[in-house]
């Protein structure tokens, strides 16, 4: 057995042990007595979509773990404020909790570039999640948000987000000279490969592809993108999604509201977040197989980058990682931690 398989199995064993500990703790969380609390949460997703259904599972699990005493009223993207205003709205106390993608705010807080995805980085979601829970990533993310008056609860970690293209992109070099939609660290890395990047809101991706404003786009996972109709406007699906090989969205709370919570409510948030992360990841893993057939039925071609081509491009991506820290001390600390872990896993020389 090679070392990467042994490391992967070790991560899986650790995840199972953590799940067992969570399950053992859950009855104690539910039995704890605390006053009732009601929060509002705005998610990233549109109502009725698969990821939004997992946010429904999250709020239901929090209520279950607290005996119904911690109720979170869930809203879909834009229902309380436009998605781009959620960060400031939660910080200002307009509502208590959001599901977000840290990369949206990476232009203001460089550390967020690395707590959302690492282009050409961790190829497996278990590896990225292990960085959060086993290599100090959770505390580093909390430091980044703490400076903004917010509290980072936990990530939801899942796999790649594909590239949907109107033109064939068969090798990394084909990216150059094209127009693409990316956000966060992917913007910097794709720019280094010669892409003219525009950070459009998620809700504008379909229209931008349809009208030819962009040649290709990152948006969400394969199923979410199919549900959004991208098979109708972009006939090439490019895998692996090197711009976002693994993904972390995050539960983030107003710090003042979070600090007022009793300990058992805080524990319920943490437990529910980690359970939903695993559940969503496993669902996407299974759904990807089914949905690729649906893309083909819509006339889409599935293109796969050659592994050697991806590996040859990685040094250029790594240089872009370093540039994206903008010399910020915390961003640099986070990147150094991730690079060290990738080396330990044998992903980097």
Domains of the chain: 14-160+247-287 (3.40.190.170), 163-244+291-344 (3.40.190.170)
Give the chain's residues under pLDDT 70.
1-34
Note whether 277 and 154 are within 8 A (CB): yes
Which residue's structure tokens are 């404003």?
213
Q: What is the DSSP string of 218-233?
A: --S-HHHHHHTTHHHH
* Integer Cα distance of 317 and 324 in angstroms: 10
Report if pTM > 0.85.
Answer: yes
pLDDT digits (tens, 9 = 90+) for 192-214: 999 999 988 888 999 999 999 99
By DSSP bridging, strand 163-165 and strand 236-239 are antiparallel
Helix extents (H) in the chain? 3-31, 50-65, 86-92, 125-134, 137-146, 185-192, 205-211, 222-227, 230-233, 255-260, 263-297, 307-324, 329-344
pLDDT computed for residue 15 by the predictor: 43
pLDDT computed for residue 33 by the predictor: 62
* Integer Cα distance of 158 and 283 in angstroms: 10
pLDDT computed for residue 153 by the predictor: 98
pLDDT computed for residue 35 by the predictor: 85
**Structure-token pair, residue 31:** 């039995």
pLDDT computed for residue 46 by the predictor: 87
């Amino acid at each position: 057995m090679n070392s990467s398989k042994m490391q992967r199995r070790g991560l899986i064993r650790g995840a199972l042990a953590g799940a067992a500990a969570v399950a053992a703790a859950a009855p104690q969380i539910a039995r704890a007595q605390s006053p009732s609390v009601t929060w509002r949460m705005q998610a990233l997703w549109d109502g009725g979509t698969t990821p939004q259904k997992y946010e429904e599972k999250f709020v239901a699990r929090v209520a279950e773990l607290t005996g119904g005493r911690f109720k979170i009223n869930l809203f879909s993207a834009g229902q309380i404020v436009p998605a781009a205003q959620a960060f400031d709205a939660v910080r200002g106390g307009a509502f208590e909790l959001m599901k977000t993608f840290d990369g949206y705010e990476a232009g203001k807080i460089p550390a967020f570039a690395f707590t959302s995805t690492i282009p050409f980085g961790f190829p497996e979601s278990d590896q990225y999640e292990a960085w959060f829970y086993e290599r100090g990533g959770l505390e580093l993310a909390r430091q980044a948000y703490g400076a903004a008056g917010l509290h980072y609860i936990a990530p939801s970690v899942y796999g790649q987000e594909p590239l949907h293209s109107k033109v064939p992109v068969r090798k990394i070099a084909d990216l150059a000279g094209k127009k693409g939609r990316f956000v966060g660290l992917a913007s910097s890395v794709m720019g280094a490969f010669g892409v003219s990047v525009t950070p459009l809101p998620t809700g504008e991706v379909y229209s931008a592809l349809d009208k030819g404003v962009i040649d290709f786009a990152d948006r969400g996972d394969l199923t979410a993108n199919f549900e959004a109709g991208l098979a109708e406007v972009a006939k090439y699906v490019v895998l692996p999604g090197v711009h976002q090989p693994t993904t972390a969205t995050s539960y983030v709370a107003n710090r003042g509201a979070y600090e007022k919570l009793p300990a058992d409510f805080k524990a319920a948030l943490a437990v529910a977040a980690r359970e939903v992360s695993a559940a969503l990841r496993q669902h996407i893993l299974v759904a990807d197989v089914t949905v690729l057939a649906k893309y083909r039925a819509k006339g889409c071609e599935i293109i796969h980058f050659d592994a050697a081509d991806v590996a040859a491009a990685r040094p250029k991506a790594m240089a872009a990682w370093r540039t994206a820290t903008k010399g910020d001390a915390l961003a640099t600390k986070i990147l150094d931690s991730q690079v060290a872990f990738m080396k330990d896993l044998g992903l980097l020389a």
